[in-house]
Amino acid sequence: MSDKSAAKNDTKKRKRINVRKPDVMAKVEAEVSNHYKSSVVEKLRELGGEITLGNTKIILAQQFGFCYGVERAIDLAYASRKVFEDNPIYLIGEIIHNPEVNRQLKDMDIVSLPWEQMNEQYDALTENDVVIVPAFGAPTSFIDKIEERGASIVDTTCGDVMKVWRRVRTYAKEGYTSIIHGKADHEETLATASHALGKEKNGHYLIILTLEDTDFVCSYINGEISDETFMTRFGDKNVSPGFIPSIHLQQVGVANQTTMLKSETEEIQRRIAKTITNRDGSPENCQIFDTICGATQERQDALFEMLKNPMDMLLVVGGYNSSNTTHLVEIGQEELPTFFIRDATCIESIEKIIHFDLEQKSEITSNYNNLLDQDKPVVVGVTAGASCPNNLIENTILRVCELRGIAKTEILSQ
């Protein structure tokens, strides 16, 4: 390569753009607040999270909805359109897992690119284009490709996700295989897996999701399962290229997708650490690092707290592909009738709720009669995942109130 072309390539690399300019952010703040704010949610906060109107009581979790990482990602996406008024702007997949927020970005002419695999749209990027990296990050190969094409990058990856990346890169550097507790088809886990290969791309990872997966790995470490059976269970999708269990499970480091169920992650860590310690007579070949993010933990803890109240039903509002929301649903359904709804329109009528069923992985319709009789007292709990805006929470509360014959003004006048 000539000096000239090397220099040209250098200029093509690393066009990361900071769109956080004070004048831009002032406008963004006003716009975001206008799109997603809620007077009803603010009122409930002011009332300590509870309101009783006649014989209807609504309890809102103490922590719910947008987290700092999501707020930042949305702000940066909105700011991108303001800074690059006339440039084509693309987004890798979805900015966060919420259809309403993604729809708003689409309305701003921000075009979604595929996130599972790069296609010819990535090859066609030019220096005039801007690409937004979502809050969950993106695999290193995607970033390399965008940099190679010379497009500008607005990186909204959450700091908590980057903390996990630093951890798995350290594992790779020290020769430890990353065992990642996460969903193999989730954007964040795919990105984390790419970082687990390390700088030299010679690191390894194994992605596990359940306690059954964990026990299977532990059985392998205990010598009870063959390499072939192991690889048949996990396949190519869950392991790094060239993964050989007999070699790459000698030294392991556990990390997790930031939005997993905390209690499950802790149990996975405990079982793996115990198995390695039993095998080697010492824990030194197993490193543990809790990478559940603060916002996920706070929302889970707040729900556990809320569940101490007697309640008739729980509504969990959020995108069906949102990992942290899914775990709130799992916590709720252990205790009481819990409905995972996309938005208020899912509460179709006084006795008909359309909601996402975690087992069937699709929407189902349930008849729910507790709201039916307005003379019968009812207590409704409401919470929402970290990617759910307040206006959707407000609409849900108002829909319940409407079915119980309560007007919005009655809430706001409390």
Q: Does 198 bind ligand SF4 (CB under 6 A)?
A: no
Identify which of 297, 294, 278, 298 has the alpha carbon closest to the alpha carbon of residue 286: 278
Q: Does 157 bind ligand SF4 (CB under 6 A)?
A: no
What's the distance, CA 50 to chain centroid?
Answer: 27
- Binding-site member from 19, 32, 41, 70 for ligand SF4 (CB under 6 A): 70
Residue whose CB is less far from ligand SF4, 69 or 332: 69
- Distances in Å between the Cα of 357 and the Cα atoms of 320, 333, 340, 344 are 9, 11, 7, 17
Q: Does 69 bind ligand SF4 (CB under 6 A)?
A: yes
Q: Does 158 bind ligand SF4 (CB under 6 A)?
A: yes
Tell me which residues in 309-328 interact with ligand SF4 (CB under 6 A).
Answer: 324
Identify which of 168, 164, 143 has the alpha carbon closest to the alpha carbon of residue 154: 143
- Distances in Å between the Cα of 284 and the Cα atoms of 43, 164, 176, 250 are 52, 20, 11, 11
Residue whose CB is less far from ligand SF4, 325 or 396: 325
Site size with ligand SF4, rule: CB under 6 A: 15
Strand 110-113 and strand 130-133: the pairing is unpaired
Show the binding pattern over residues 105-144: x = contacts ligand SF4 (CB under 6 A), - = does not: ------------------------------x---------
165's tokens: 């990346």
Q: Is 264 designated active site?
A: no
The answer to whether the beta carbons of residues 261 and 327 sit under 8 Å apart is: yes
Tell me which residues in 231-290 interact with ligand SF4 (CB under 6 A).
Answer: 258-259
From the CB of 184, what's the least distance to ligand SF4, in Å? 18
What's the distance, CA 282 to chain centroid?
Answer: 35
Of residues 187, 188, 264, 394, which has the active-site annotation? 188
- Binding-site member from 59, 110, 386, 397 for ligand SF4 (CB under 6 A): 386
Q: Does 68 bind ligand SF4 (CB under 6 A)?
A: yes
Q: Which residues 6+ apart lie within 8 Å of 379 measured at CB?
A: 57, 58, 59, 309, 310, 311, 312
- Distances in Å between the Cα of 202 and the Cα atoms of 27, 149, 248, 325 are 45, 25, 11, 34
List active site positions.
188
Q: Applying CB under 6 A, which residues contact ligand SF4?
A: 67-70, 135, 158, 160-161, 258-259, 293, 295-296, 324, 386
